[in-house]
Structure 1
Amino acid sequence: MSIILQQHPAIAAGVSGEAFREQAADGFSLGGFTWRQAGADTTRAVVIINAATSVRCRFYFRFAEYLFANGFDVIVYDYRGIGESRPASMRGFQASWSDWGTLDFEAMLQRAMRVFPGQPIDVIGHSFGGCAAGLAASSTVIRHLVTVGAQFAYWRDYAAASRWQLVCKWHVLMPLLTRFCGYFPGKRLGWLEDTPAGVVRDWSQSSARYETRPSGQALAELPFARVTAKTLAISLSDDPFGTVAAIERLLAYFKASPRVHLRIAPEDIDEAEVGHFAFFRSRYEGRLWPIALGWLKRGELTACAPGRVVPPYI
């Protein structure tokens, strides 16, 4: 039986983050928000939240407030082309998945080291955000990493029951609309935020290896294998993107990291469905969020964590 914890007063009060702008190495201006505790403390971690593809950082505000209420400093931000980091015109705006990792996430790591000097840096990565965590040159500074449904959209890994529907939507219709509009008009369709053409190419031209995507780099140049963060990969059994094969395909890149894959079925938390996005909704503050919180604090699973651990890599 699941235990519903009482909502923390800071969450109920809707604590607001402080807006900021940060320049990436190529000069592009990124927008985001910071939740900052009073006073410096080098034993307190700062958590960076990496969003899913074309999901605004504001979607994660409640989760950021939860982490802040539990003693962390928190940074959330939008990748270039999305939300707070959207350019004046999306038509023809070129940004890729690799840009989001090597430039945008790297800028947030640099900001965390500058604004919170000496503090440990932890990361939450949702969907592609987990992949981005292994693309930045400074990813070696990450202490603890929690990913949720993290993968890079290899179509053969999609859940069998919905595979062809997802292929038609994301690998046929999305690139066709992008070619016509110069970007993917996801907001008008009610699917995602509007999305840069380069990101659409990386997603839709699916392959089993990240380095063979249109914006991919040679495997030897990718930082993944140098990341040593204690890594918890959370997946939901009803997530059509985050199948076991998809999660483990990405995890295999983090060769130097101690890795745990926790697979949760909705019935484990007395739910009918959770899917790819709902983990970060406040209704799961008492049932799913403590799993991530425990890992960020101690680098280990809490004894009462729901689900099962997929056989380990190491």
Structure 2
Amino acid sequence: MNLNDAPTGMPASTPTLSQSEPFEEHASDGHPIGGFTWRHVRTDVERPVVIINAATSLRCRYYSRFADYLFANGLDVITYDYRGIGESRRGSLRGFKASWSDWGVLDFEAIVQRAQREFPGQPIDVVGHSFGGCAAGLGASGAVIRRIVTVGAQFAYWRDYEAKSRWRMLAKWHVVMPLVTALCGYFPGKRLGWLEDTPAGVVRDWNTPTPRYETRPSGRSLGELPFSRVKAQLLAISITDDPFGTVAATERLLSYFDGSERTHLRIAPEDIGKKQIGHFAYFRSEYQDRLWPIALAWLQSGQLATDTLGISPHLRFNTPPRSTTQGR
């Protein structure tokens, strides 16, 4: 998938959400967070509830088929939008205050607390796509997370971008995007066909020329970072043709989760008979039979499915306190 294949708005393949129920949750600062819940009729304290954290400026509806899949396999699921996006947008974004920190520290935290309240006693797991993997480490309640699966998760640090695409990506996301944002007071992504409209503070975070989260304009100081609170079993999935999710980018984020047992699984499109997957396609229903079972197996057991064809030779293991790298 190339950089122009990023989904905009709600894809045509997104289901009607008939199996889900909408909700509105208020973050600690009072901002309403909208989303959807897939809930089984009978409660079971052993059944996980999975929170899906979206990528930057993707609507939670993009993940509805994946949520359907998890629900059909016996899990409860929560999807939601960060403030300023989709179900959590309230009016114009011009002058609207929101940042990556707000999305994780306030919005994700509110959903974790909702999961604890709505599904008392059940394990809480997280699936995080792109920035959603970072958000999984920012909530104050991170210690309650049992397992995490991230896909293409990283900080959007430009030096970590794929070498052959780096300068084109730098021009698009780090020159054009902030310039348009400065002119409009927010990033009008829907009009440009570049994801959803995005708050200016999020664009500033994206475009800070540093690899470290805590030095972003809205980041917390190193001593306040909550990543270390997370003690979850963490599977990071990266794709070899994802220009954002390179090995350097993936393992940079993994290094923050220093209290977690970490496994990095790197997948090439040819491993599953495809020419390309890229940064966005993992959650498309065409990969339900080949890629989705990897995440499901981890959420169910904390282990990789050993019978997943073409995957095993390309493992990268990271276990605290030091990171080791194997495979391609």
TM-score tier, shorter chain, comes to: over 0.9
The answer for the alignment partner of 1:228 in structure 2 is 231
User: Which of 11, 34, 55 is 2:37 aligned to?
Assistant: 34
Q: Does 1:238 align with 2:238?
A: no
RMSD over equivalenced CA pairs, Å: 1.3
The answer for the alignment partner of 1:151 in structure 2 is 154
Query: Normalization by structure 2: what TM-score?
Result: 0.91
The answer for the alignment partner of 1:5 in structure 2 is none
The answer for the alignment partner of 2:132 in structure 1 is 129
The answer for the alignment partner of 1:309 in structure 2 is 315
SS at match of 1:256: coil
Aligned-pair CA distance for 1:71: 0.3
Q: For 1:137 and 1:310, how far apart are their aligned partners in 2? A: 28
The answer for the alignment partner of 2:257 in structure 1 is 254
Output the amino acid matched with 2:227: F
Note if contact 1:239-1:276 (Cα within 8 Å) is conserved in structure 2. yes
Output the amino acid matched with 1:140: A
Instruction: Indicate how the Cα distance of structure 1 residues 161 and 122 shifts in structure 2: closer, same or farther if over 3 A, else same.
Output: same
Note if contact 2:101-2:219 (Cα within 8 Å) is conserved in structure 1. yes
Aligned-pair CA distance for 1:15: 4.5
The answer for the alignment partner of 1:7 in structure 2 is none
The answer for the alignment partner of 2:5 in structure 1 is none
The answer for the alignment partner of 2:9 in structure 1 is none
Q: For 1:313 and 1:225, how far apart are their aligned partners in 2? A: 14
The answer for the alignment partner of 1:70 in structure 2 is 73
Output the amino acid matched with 2:289: G
Q: For 2:258 and 2:292, how far apart are their aligned partners in 1? A: 26
SS at match of 2:256: coil
Q: For 2:21 and 2:135, how far apart are their aligned partners in 1? A: 23
Aligned-pair CA distance for 1:16: 2.7
Q: Does 1:164 align with 2:167?
A: yes
The answer for the alignment partner of 1:206 in structure 2 is 209
Note if contact 1:15-1:65 (Cα within 8 Å) is conserved in structure 2. no
Q: For 1:12 and 1:193, how far apart are their aligned partners in 2? A: 19
Instruction: Indicate how the Cα distance of structure 1 residues 157 and 42 shifts in structure 2: closer, same or farther if over 3 A, else same.
Output: same
Instruction: Indicate how the Cα distance of structure 1 residues 12 and 24 shifts in structure 2: closer, same or farther if over 3 A, else same.
Output: closer
Aligned-pair CA distance for 1:312: 2.7
Q: For 1:75 and 1:36, how far apart are their aligned partners in 2? A: 9
Gap regions ≥5 residues in structure 2 = 1-13, 321-328
Output the amino acid matched with 1:312: N
The answer for the alignment partner of 1:275 in structure 2 is 278
Q: For 2:194 and 2:184, how far apart are their aligned partners in 1? A: 16
Aligned-pair CA distance for 1:35: 0.3
Gap regions ≥5 residues in structure 1 = 1-10
Note if contact 1:130-1:147 (Cα within 8 Å) is conserved in structure 2. yes
Aligned-pair CA distance for 1:87: 1.8
Note if contact 2:214-2:220 (Cα within 8 Å) is conserved in structure 1. yes
Query: Normalization by structure 1: what TM-score?
Result: 0.95
Aligned-pair CA distance for 1:93: 0.5
Q: For 1:125 and 1:84, how far apart are their aligned partners in 2? A: 18
> More displaced, 299-308 or 40-49?
299-308
State how many pairs are aligned: 304
1:277-296 matches, within 5 Å, as: 277-296=280-299
Instruction: Indicate how the Cα distance of structure 1 residues 93 and 14 shifts in structure 2: closer, same or farther if over 3 A, else same.
Output: closer
> More displaced, 275-284 or 299-308?
299-308
Note if contact 2:298-2:304 (Cα within 8 Å) is conserved in structure 1. yes
Aligned-pair CA distance for 1:187: 0.5
The answer for the alignment partner of 1:299 in structure 2 is 302
> More displaced, 11-20 or 292-301?
11-20
Show CA shifts across 1:245-300 (max 9, x none). 00000000000100000000000000000000000000000000000000000001
Instruction: Indicate how the Cα distance of structure 1 residues 13 and 85 shifts in structure 2: closer, same or farther if over 3 A, else same.
Output: closer
Show CA shifts across 1:187-206 (max 9, x none). 00001100000000000113
SS at match of 2:249: helix
Q: For 1:155 and 1:224, how far apart are their aligned partners in 2? A: 22
Note if contact 2:235-2:263 (Cα within 8 Å) is conserved in structure 1. yes
Note if contact 2:229-2:259 (Cα within 8 Å) is conserved in structure 1. yes
SS at match of 2:42: coil
Output the amino acid matched with 1:26: D
Note if contact 2:25-2:34 (Cα within 8 Å) is conserved in structure 1. yes
Show CA shifts across 1:210-265 (max 9, x none). 10011111111111011100000000000000000000000000001000000000
Note if contact 2:263-2:316 (Cα within 8 Å) is conserved in structure 1. yes
SS at match of 1:27: coil
Aligned-pair CA distance for 1:12: 9.1
Output the amino acid matched with 2:201: G
Note if contact 1:152-1:210 (Cα within 8 Å) is conserved in structure 2. yes
SS at match of 1:301: coil
Show CA shifts across 1:291-313 (max 9, x none). 00000000011102343112434
